Amino acid sequence: MAEKTISITLRVWRQDGPQAEGRFASYHAKDIPADLSFLEMLDIVNAGLEKAGADPIAFEHDCREGICGSCGAVVNGHAHGPQRATTLCQLYMRHFNDGDVITIEPFRAKAFPLIKDLVVDRSAFDRIIQAGGYISVKTGTAPDAHAQLVPKPKAEQAMDAAACIGCGACVAACPNASASLFTAAKISQLCKLPQGDPERKRRVSAMIRQMDHEGFGSCSKHYECQAACPKEIKVANIATMNREFLRTLLPGE
């Protein structure tokens, strides 16, 4: 049985560098096997471009199995494309139709400066983590896993928040380009656990301060982040972050 293929037109944002003028360029991708991933489709288009001596489309990727958070672009107006709970690398061409025109843009946020084409600099996320998204522990032998008891519901909330792969789709999808969902997930994953407790006050203030400093917007509860998140991180984490912040206003222990 012949493999199903589709032919599509791509409108891709091309920009040579941070300061360069960007524009949309059109490419025809013919006879793309429907079982290829979106990034594999781009690989084919890029092979064609290279063969013709043109500059391939720059895009970021690493694991290609939806766990590293490297990939991402806005496809037809959706961060990571129209499929819910899916990273761009795990989006398959069978979700598109023959003859489709697909617009591909980089994640847009002032705090994510563009490097080239679809590649943006997301190191603002790293700096938010550096500001407080960690716990301080004595190094040495790892403690026994059951040395500290964690109630099951708390453990699950922390694990759900820890599913965040830091891809930046929340920022890309947010009308305010807010990093609240990312920052909140990183705060939640630590503050729900006993290991995260000692530094909780300092952590939430420092991470929010850094988030603001990077130039992200604030949360207006559009819930677009939650819908775009490939790991289905919930807005409830933002309620947790705000509650954590409110705790810092209480008189110290």
Residue 241 contacts which entry, ligand HEM, ligand FES, other proteins, none (Cβ below 5-8 A, type-dependent): other proteins
Q: Which of 94, 209, 221, 247 binds ligand HEM (CB under 6 A)?
A: 221
24 has which bridge partners?
13
- Is residue 243 a contact point for ligand HEM (CB under 6 A)? no
Q: Does 70 bind other proteins (CB under 8 A)?
A: no
Residues 172-201 contacting ligand FES, CB under 6 A: none
Residue 242 interface partner, choices ligand HEM, ligand FES, other proteins, none, CB cut-off 5-8 Å depending on type: other proteins
In the complex, what is the shortest distance from the CB of residue 221 to ligand HEM, in angstroms, rounded to a whole number? 5
Smaller CB separation from ligand FES, 80 or 203: 80
Minimum distance from CB of 233 to other proteins (Å)?
11
Judged by beta carbon distances under 5 to 8 A according to partner kind, the member of ligand FES, ligand HEM, other proteins, none in contact with residue 50 is none
What are the distances in angstroms from CA 15 to CA 88, 106, 119?
20, 10, 10
Contact call for residue 202 and other proteins (CB under 8 A): no
Per CB under 6 A, the list member of 69, 133, 166, 196 interacting with ligand FES is 69
Please identify, using beta-carbon distances, which residue of 66 and 132 lies nearer to ligand FES.
66
The residue among 69 and 133 lying less far from ligand FES, judged by its C-beta, is 69
Long-range own/partner contacts, residues 207-211 (CB < 8 A, 24 or more apart): 207/128, 207/131, 207/132, 207/133, 207/183, 208/183, 208/241, 208/245, 209/131, 210/127, 210/128, 210/130, 210/131, 210/132, 211/128, 211/179, 211/180, 211/183
- Picking from 212, 95, 216, 42, the residue whose alpha carbon sits closest to that of residue 225 is 216
Q: Which residues of 124-155 are buried (b: 16+ CB within 10 A; e: fewer)?
A: bbeebeebbbeeeeeeeeeeeeeeeeeeeeee
Q: Tokens in use for 27? A: 């490419």
CA 144 to chain CA centroid, Å, is 33
Question: Which positions lie near other proteins, rule CB under 8 A?
Answer: 11, 13, 24, 74, 76-78, 82, 84, 103, 105, 108-111, 127, 130-132, 173, 175-178, 205-206, 208-224, 226-228, 234-236, 238-246
